Structure formats: structure tokens, C-alpha cells
Amino acid sequence: MSEAAIMDEFPFVADMPKKEKSRRVQVLEQFAAYKATIEKSGFPIPQVLAAKIAGVTKARIGELIKLKRLQVVELDGHVFVTENSLVEYASGERKAGRPSKFIADCDKQGPFKATIKLMTNS
């Protein structure tokens, strides 16, 4: 008997609770999703560990995620940084500290000498 025929003959069946998947099936589905993620984009890394590996703060990892410089995957409600994106980010050259300010009238003397020159000319 088809499911539609059962519903026509016994309408109360629709209100009955459905059988949930067994715990074993749920675990296997979670592992399958996890394995597919690993094959696609590398190992999923928690944000705190990603910050430690990259040598930055967790807040900076959050900024990099917002800037889309790091890719994330969500597994069972938790957000992870992908291994491939973290390796790509770490491979790029980064300069530490604040960028230097340039003065238009430097004339290859350096900003300090140009500043003194501007101060003495006034």
C-alpha cells in the first residue's frame, strides 16, 4: 500500500510522531559531513587554535573572516576556519606594526629630514 493510500484510509497517521533516526545513523551522517568537509577544504580548525597557529588574536581571526580572507565551515552549529585558507593566509607576507606615513616633499631624504626641512623653512 502506498503512503498516500494509507493517509487517505487512516488520516490520524499523519499526526503520529515519526520514528527518529537511530543514534548510530546520526553519528554516521555527522562523520560523513565531516569527511566531506575535510576532502573539500582541508581540516576544520577552531578559531582559537587558528589564532594561535597564525600568531594573531581571536579577534583578528574574526576580522579576517568578515573580510573573507579566511574561509569558514559550519559543522553542527560550530564555526571552523578551513585549513586551506589558513595556510594561504599564513603563506602571504605580512608586515607587523602600523604603516609608515609618507610626506610628499621627502625628496628621498626620509620623512624625519623632510619634517625638519619644513620646520626650518617656515
Q: List, edge to edge, every strand of the sheet that includes 44-46.
A: 44-46, 78-82, 72-75
Tens of pLDDT, residue by residue over 3-24, are 667 667 777 767 777 777 788 9
Tens of pLDDT, residue by residue over 67-83, are 999 999 988 889 999 99
Share of the chain above pLDDT 90, in %: 34
For residue 52, pLDDT beyond 70: yes
| Domain chopping of the chain, boundaries | 3-95
CB-based contact 81:88 (threshold 8 Å): no
